[in-house]
Structure 1
Amino acid sequence: MKKIYVIGAGINGMSAAVQLAEHFQNKNVQVTVMADKLTPFTLSDLVAGLWSPYLMGNTDPDKIIQWSKGTHKFFHELWINGLAGESGVTMSPVIGLSVEDPRSCPSWKDIPFGFRELTADEVEKYSNEHGRNYLSGYQFVSFCCQPKKMLPYLTKRFLKAGGKFEQRKIVNLEDVTEADLIINCTGLGGKFLGDDQLHPIRGQVTRVKAPWMNGVIIDNSDDGNYIIPNDDSVVLGGTHQVDDYNLNVSLPDHDFINAGCQRMVKSLVNAEMVINGVGLRPGRNSVRLETEYRGSGKTPIIHNVGHGGSGVTLSWGCGTEVLERAIDVMNTTAKL
């Protein structure tokens, strides 16, 4: 029996693992997820999960469109097939604003529902409301996918397709000697497995109880804040501090987040705080999704790391390319 090991059990690892397990089910291939942390203890469990490409360095725009479109389609299918509640998929209107020079529409504008640029009068209105001098803005309708629900949903699908879990910390990909194919979905951990281009982008958020909030507001400026409702709380953010490994809650960051979000939505002054959270996004100059042959035995490795702030947004689409690459690798191996 051939053995595929997916290293990492966050949203990208599980999205790839499910597609691999379902494709190779009953084909004499065992897919195993190997990780030291499983849900609910992964970084993915902490995030708000808004579908919106963010912090991906110089990633090819065509790839961003391909991967994010694949994920958007997956969320939409869950939504229309009655699986939104179980998988943590919700839908929200999104307002994006910026104080920087007027920005051209993002390359992914044709993917979400109802994308349009805001008029000058609308931009001025939000400027007055938020106490900011916005120069541009847009709106669309998007999905939020909360990994704290999506990961258990994917786990159920993975196990149903014959997948297995092995809780184990990997310090060297070449130590997985039993693998015929390795899928590297280790996030920032990939830095310690040989990818020097990976670096942390620290993110701190505050979760509050504000059930009256039903829309997303994002200030895309370099010093901007964001407000993202989930089903049980509202995520207020945030920070994007490059090369910062500090996992402790920062009081100055907390004050910055609260002040900025309360300036945008005055009623948040009355919101009850639930918790502060800190996580390290896996930053990179560009998302790495490629096949490598490493070690004396030339074990094939498919790298799927460096998603920045777009782990949820790219997850299913990247998993689809991982599957395509895995099929090529397994077919090539079978011919040798």
Structure 2
Amino acid sequence: MWSLSLAATGLFATSRSPTDKRESWTDKANYCLYDHVEVYNIGQECVHFRNGSSHNTIQNSYIHDCGLVTPDYGEGVYVGSDKGKWAELIKEADYNTIRSNVIGPGVTAEHVDIKEGSSFTIVEHNIFNGTGITGANSGDSFIDVKGNDCIIRFNVGYSNDNPKVANAFEVHQRIAGWGLNANFYGNTAYLTNATQYVVLTDSKGNATASNNTRIPTGNLYSGNVVDTDQSTSNPTTSSTTKPSTTSTSTTSTSTTSTTTKPSTTSTSTTTKPSTTTTTTTSGTTTGTTSNNPTTSSTTTTTSSDTNTPTTTSSTTTTNHPSNGITLQSTNLLILSLLFISYILA
């Protein structure tokens, strides 16, 4: 591939007779800079980066009155090549930048047309004057994106009551795998027709969009456009809801587990006179017996109508002298000892 570095800078204008269909073709050229130029009075597209031309920039320039012979092809800046030309032209035209230009009036097709096969085009800080857009050959928007991974940001477009301006920015898939991942942000579109959108995609192209403004307010996005302004608010709502659900579930599980255990222990006990076990459930002390003849235990649970931990510590009542059942057991033991002593004597 040929490679050319060119800097065309300074205040100068280029104009031709409208019979000269094209003005500036950049073919197989890389790292060219067009700065402070005026391109106008052209039969078809005014500026064209094509046939493998990449890393080129046009900036601070004035582009107007394009498509005077063939309005269908009267683009202001044309990037790449239509798929019908891929057999004869290199389709890749990547990393080209269109920056800080005034495009229009008198541009009969799109102000910027980014073709399939091209990638990573940046269009930023431009002013689009929609007077003169004809809608011929679907040239009915400021920018038409058919390439991939393009960034469209901080541009201002004026439809100027032109009914031929269908939408500010559009994305189309002309061939599978293209017309994807365009990113539109920080743009402002003055659209006087209520049906016009700031960003519209067809059924197969896609884009993301944020912080774009429509004046007057109205339609913003249509098609496969992810509004990241709206997406950002969704995690906040989800985050607020989740902790409430988790807290309720944990409290319920804890209460059920604590209440169930003492009931199981009480039910499984059998009678044996050698050991006293004091079990406190729901604030009531009862005397029961255990299978283990050498162990005395105290089982304590929280009352079923409260969750406070203070109940647990206050219900341990083993060997309390005022307990009638415990005193009675002690008396029986003394009488048994006296009886045994009498027999032995």
Q: Same fold (TM over 0.5)?
A: no
Larger Rg: 1 or 2?
A: 2
TM-score normalised over the length of structure 2 = 0.22
TM-score normalised over the length of structure 1 = 0.22
More helix by share: 1
Higher relative contact order (CA closer than 8 Å, sequence separation 6+):
1
